[in-house]
Amino acid sequence: MLPRRLKRRLNEREQARERASWYRRGRAFAGGAGTAGGPTYGDAANPLRAFFNAQTTGRGIWKWDHYFDTYHRHFEGFRGTDAHILEIGIYSGGSLDMWHDYFGPSAHVYGVDIQQECMRYEDEATSVFIGDQSDRAFWQRVRAEVPKLDIVIDDGGHQPEQQSVSFEELFPHLRPGGVYVVEDLHGLGNRFAAYVHGLTDVLSTYRGVADHTDPERRKTSAATGFQSIVDSIHSYTYVTVIEKRRTPLGEFISPKHGTEWEPFLR
Reported as a single tens digit per residue, the pLDDT across 244-262 is 999 999 999 999 999 999 9
pLDDT of residue 39: 84
pLDDT of residue 265: 83
Distance, in Å, from the CA atom of 246 to the CA atom of 265, rounded to the nearest integer, reads 35
At the top level of CATH, the class of 47-206+231-248 is alpha beta
Distance, in Å, from the CA atom of 156 to the CA atom of 174, rounded to the nearest integer, reads 18
Q: Give yes or no for residue 160 having a pLDDT over 90.
A: yes
Reported as a single tens digit per residue, the pLDDT across 73-114 is 999 999 999 999 999 999 999 999 999 999 999 999 999 999
Pairing of strands 108-113, 126-130: parallel
Q: Give yes or no for residue 10 having a pLDDT over 80.
A: no
Reported as a single tens digit per residue, the pLDDT across 135-156 is 999 999 999 999 999 999 999 9
Q: Give yes or no for residue 2 having a pLDDT over 70.
A: no
pLDDT of residue 32: 87
Distance, in Å, from the CA atom of 32 to the CA atom of 27, rounded to the nearest integer, reads 9
Q: Distances in Å between the alpha carbon of 58 and those of 53, 55, 61, 92, 247?
A: 12, 7, 9, 9, 41
Average pLDDT for 1-6:
70
pLDDT of residue 63: 97
Q: Is 238 left (phi over 0), alpha (psi -120 to 50) or beta?
A: left
Reported as a single tens digit per residue, the pLDDT across 113-141 is 999 999 999 999 999 999 999 999 999 99
**CA 154, chain centre distance (Å):** 10
Distance, in Å, from the CA atom of 141 to the CA atom of 173, rounded to the nearest integer, reads 13
pLDDT of residue 250: 96
pTM for this structure? 0.93
pLDDT of residue 176: 98
Q: Give yes or no for residue 69 having a pLDDT over 70.
A: yes
Cβ atoms of 243 and 231 within 8 Å: the answer is: yes
